[in-house]
Amino acid sequence: MAATTRRSTTATALTLAALGLALTAATGCGAVDKALDCVRTADAIASSVDNLRQAVSHASDDPGRASEALDDIEKNLGDLGDRTGDADLGKAVDHLTTAVNNVRTAIDKGDAAPDVTPVADAAKEIGKICTP
């Protein structure tokens, strides 16, 4: 009977160890997935910021293009905000959101060449945070 108890205890210990390893691996993969999502979204935001710069420089040719670039940035920000619980990243997302809103307001008020530097700076901040 002692052998049965010993085998049962060993089996339970092995099961708990395997469960612990599985949970650790799952958590690690989740962190990696989150980091990759952050990098992909930061890259998409950087592309959108480049599109915004081009759109603003050619605003007289296609005034709606800047608005489309701002829409892209906002969509990517929403995606990023939904995936993170990181406080620094949350602040950076807030800064970029404010900068985007300021550029949109300037365009709505008729500014054909709004300053997009704060948008680019905030996007760089997100890129730094998301870089592994």
pLDDT in tens, 31-47: 677 677 788 788 888 88
Burial string for 112-132 (b: 16+ CB within 10 Å, else e) reads: eebebebbbebbbbbbebbee
- The stretch 79-84 carries a mean pLDDT of 65
CA 11 from centre of chain: 43
pLDDT value at residue 40:
79
Q: How far apart are CA 123 and CA 126, in angstroms?
A: 5
pTM for this entry: 0.69
- The stretch 68-92 carries a mean pLDDT of 78
- The stretch 28-32 carries a mean pLDDT of 63
